[in-house]
Amino acid sequence: EVQLVESGGGLVQPGRSLRLSCVASGFTFHDYAIHWVRQAPGKGLEWVSGISRNRNSIGYADSVEGRFTISRDNAKNSLYLQMNSLRPEDTALYYCARGYSGYESGLDIWGQGTQVTVSS
Amino acid sequence: QSVLTQPPSVSGAPGQRVIISCTGSSSNIGAGYDVHWYQHLPGTAPKLLIYGNYNRPSGVPDRFSGSKSGTSASLAITGLQAEDEADYFCQSYDSSLSGLFGGGTKLTVL
């Protein structure tokens, strides 16, 4: 079965760090770009970051630029999101999602999400 | 405020046709970047409905169709069904490798 499974979410204080992971199975991970997308409570979807299959293209939303770092380990079929200097407005359900064909493509496979709550 | 603008809500009776618009700019949709559409039901992961402006993934009914013109795109849903009630999001990209989502449109089936 083709799937993505996120982990690493939790409750964290403002200013602290958290590292999210996304493990892929059922497809050739290194052939696809992968993105992080989040949804804050009562809000819409917000694109957070993306990384191409060979890491040549990496992008960040303005809201996380300089604080979040995306990376991938193709040998482990894994994607990561290192989140530093967390803010209450980073509270959201974080999804990883696969680009069906290249970096700027639609996202055809999504995980179920991992919840991040930033609060003192 | 989202870079891509969608109406907050649309509604229609069963069997009717509704259209959801997505307006961008010359920096994203108008620059030639494809538009993709998602259906999002509460408590579930978003589902890709349309990719590359007008293409449907396998399994998506042909009641759903997409189009793009200039700096805008549209999602049309014909033969509305109760199960279509959901939030719908458009998505595109820009030259800075940023992904962009519209603010979302809540579809109510009357």
Q: What is the pLDDT along chain B (110 residues), one digit of tens a residue?
A: 789 999 999 999 999 999 999 999 999 999 999 999 999 998 899 999 999 999 999 999 999 999 999 999 999 999 999 999 999 999 999 989 999 999 999 999 99
pLDDT of amino acid B43: 87
pLDDT of amino acid B42: 85
Task: Measure the CA–CA gap between B65 and B49, rounded to whole angstroms.
Answer: 9
Inter-chain CB pairs, A–B, below 8 Å? 72
pLDDT of amino acid B1: 77
Residues A99-114: what's their mean pLDDT? 95
Task: Measure the CA–CA gap between A3 and A90, rounded to whole angstroms.
Answer: 25
Task: Measure the CA–CA gap between A99 and A41, rounded to whole angstroms.
Answer: 25
pLDDT of amino acid A68: 98
pLDDT of amino acid B73: 98
Nearest-CB residue to B51 (from A46, A57, A105)? A105
Residue A16's pLDDT band (cuts 50, 70, 90): very high
Contacts with A120 (C-beta within 8 Å, 6 or more apart), sequence order: A13, A14
pLDDT of amino acid B2: 83
Decide if A58 touches B, using CB distance below 8 A: yes
